[in-house]
Structure 1
Amino acid sequence: MAILKGSITDDKIYSNYLEEEIDLLIYTPSKFTPLVKYPVLIAQDGRDYFQLGKLAKTADRLMEEELMQSCIIVGVNHKGIEDRKAKYDPTGEKHENYIRFMAIELTSYLNEKFNTLQLGAGMGLIGDSLGGYVAFKLSLLYPNTFGKVILQSPYIPDSLIQTVESIEQMQTLTIYHSIGDEEEQFKNPEGVIRDFLTPNRQMNKLLTNLALDYEYTEFQGNHLWVNWQKDIVPALIFLYSNH
């Protein structure tokens, strides 16, 4: 098994918007130095992305192989299924304050803590399912803050489709967007069958017509970490290629 060349540390940030402490996982690359400006990639479902998605390990290997730029990766943790739904779901009671926390408090904290690229392209987001919805919503609301986004099987409600339909240009954004070809029949944790594939295909058509840096792929399989994990390699190379 490959040994991590960079390092992962635990961190915490208090959110005034949410009135709670949020746990973070922070990956810094090998040869990390405060003298260099680094792009930052922020992951929803932080613990899952680091453990099940192997995000930091995968990025670490790609950096060592010089296939991607050196990058700081921040995993934002939630406190379980109910807390996740309250923060990530557009109807959740903590959702609007979570969006504010991400866009205002977390970014300010990271810009103070690290020598970050202050341009929009310097701050990226990655999310799966409802986390993908959050990542996409943040990039649409704050395109000058979050210039890069990885959407893995994102939840696409009608409201998001209407938002993108009303946008005339999105040149500032770089988007990697993927969905499984079996996601017409996804059973969510509550046991409800949802069609993720059709709205994602609809969103792909809309994004393809906009002048932006955009990559879309349909992988074989369903709404599972085993598929998202494999998909992380092309996603990171698309966003942070060294070439």
Structure 2
Amino acid sequence: MAILKGSITDDKIQSKYLDETIDLLIYLPSRYTPLVKYPILIAQDGRDYFQLGKLAKTADRLMEEHQIEDCIIIGVNHKGIEDRKAKYDPSGEKHENYIRFMAYELTAYLNEKFNTLQLGAGMGLIGDSLGGYVAMKLSLLYPNTFGKVIVQSPYIPEELLQTVESIEQMQTLTIYHSIGDEEHSFTNPEGITKDFLAPNRRMNKLLNNFALDYEYSEFQGNHLWVNWQKDLVPALTFLYNNR
């Protein structure tokens, strides 16, 4: 098993919008120096992405092999299933304040803490399922803040499709978008079966109408971490290709 060359540390940020302390995971590449400006990738479901998705380990290997540029990765942790739904679900009671926390408080904190690229392309987002919805929504609402986004099997409600339909131009964004070919029938933890595939295909058709840097992929399989983990290599390479 590959040994991590970079480092992972814990951090915290106090949110006025949410009136709580948010736990963070911070990955720094092995060649990190405060003298260099770095792009930042922010992950929803931070702990899951680091542990189940092996995001830091995968990125670390790709950086060491010079397949992607060095970047800082931030994992934003939630406090469990109920807290996740309250923050990520569009109908959740904390959702709008969580969006504000991400767009204003977290970005300001990271720009102050690290030597960052103060451009939209310098701040990226990654999310799966409901976290993918959050990542997509943030990039659409704040394209000058979050210029790069990876969405893996994102939840795509009708209102998000309508939002994209109403946008006239979106050329500032770089988007990697993937979905499993078996996700036409996904049963969530609450026992509700949903079709994730059809709305993602609709979103793909809409995004293809724009002159943006966009990659769409349908992987084999269902709504599972094992599939998102494998999908990280093409996703990270697309966003941070060392070209």
The TM-score, its normalising length taken from structure 1, stands at: 1.00
1:168 is displaced (CA, Å) by: 1.1
Give the structure 1 partner of residue 9 of structure 2: 9
Secondary structure of 1:203's match?
Answer: helix
Aligned to 1:104: 104
> Structure 1, residues 107-144: CA drift from partner, whole Å, max 9, x if none?
00000000000000000000000000000000000000
- Is residue 215 from structure 1 mapped to residue 215 from structure 2 by the alignment? yes
Superposed, 1:156-171 pairs within 5 Å as: 156-171=156-171
CA–CA distance in structure 1, aligned partners of residues 81 and 72 of structure 2:
27
**Structure 2 CA distance for aligned equivalents of residues 196 and 210 of structure 1:** 22
Q: Which runs of 5+ in 2 are unaligned?
A: none
Q: How many residues align?
A: 243
Letter in 2 for 1:51: Q
The superposition leaves residues 14-44 of structure 1 with CA deviations (integer Å, 9 ceiling, x where unpaired) of: 0000000000000000021000000000000
**Alpha-carbon displacement from aligned partner over 1:128-181 (angstroms, at most 9, x marks no partner):** 000000000000000000000000000000000000001111000000000000
The secondary structure found in structure 2 opposite 1:110 is helix
Tell me, what secondary structure is at the counterpart of 2:108? helix
- 1:25 corresponds in structure 2 to 25
Answer yes or no: is 1:89 the counterpart of 2:89: yes
Partner SS state of residue 149, structure 1: strand
Q: Partners of 1:103 and 1:60 in 2: how far apart? A: 26
CA distance in structure 2 between the partners assigned to 1:48 and 1:206 by the alignment: 30
Deviations 1:77-129 (A, max 9, x none): 00000000000000000000000000000000000000000000000000000
Report the Cα offset of residue 214 of structure 1: 0.1
- CA distance in 2 between counterparts of 1:62 and 1:105 reads 30
Q: State the match for 1:64 in structure 2.
A: 64
Q: Measure, in 2, the Cα distance between the counterparts of 1:97 and 1:71.
A: 27
Quick one: which amino acid aligns to residue 5 of structure 1?
K
Corresponding residue of 1:38: 38
Distance 1:218 1:233 in 2: 14
Amino acid at match of 1:178: S
Deviation above 3 Å: which 4+ runs of structure 1?
A: none
Deviation (angstroms), 1:241: 0.2
TM-score, normalised by the number of residues in structure 2: 1.00
Is the partner of 2:23 in helix, strand or coil? strand
Give the structure 2 partner of residue 153 of structure 1: 153
Residue type at the aligned position of 1:21: T
Give 2:138's aligned residue. 138
2 CA distance for matches of 1:174 and 1:42?
A: 15
Equivalent residue letter for 1:24: L
**Percent sequence identity over aligned pairs:** 85
Cα distance between partner residues in 2 of 1:84 and 1:62:
30
Question: For residue 235 of structure 1, what is the aligned residue in structure 2?
Answer: 235
| Structure 2 Cα separation of the partners of residues 151 and 46 of structure 1 | 14
Q: CA RMSD in A?
A: 0.3
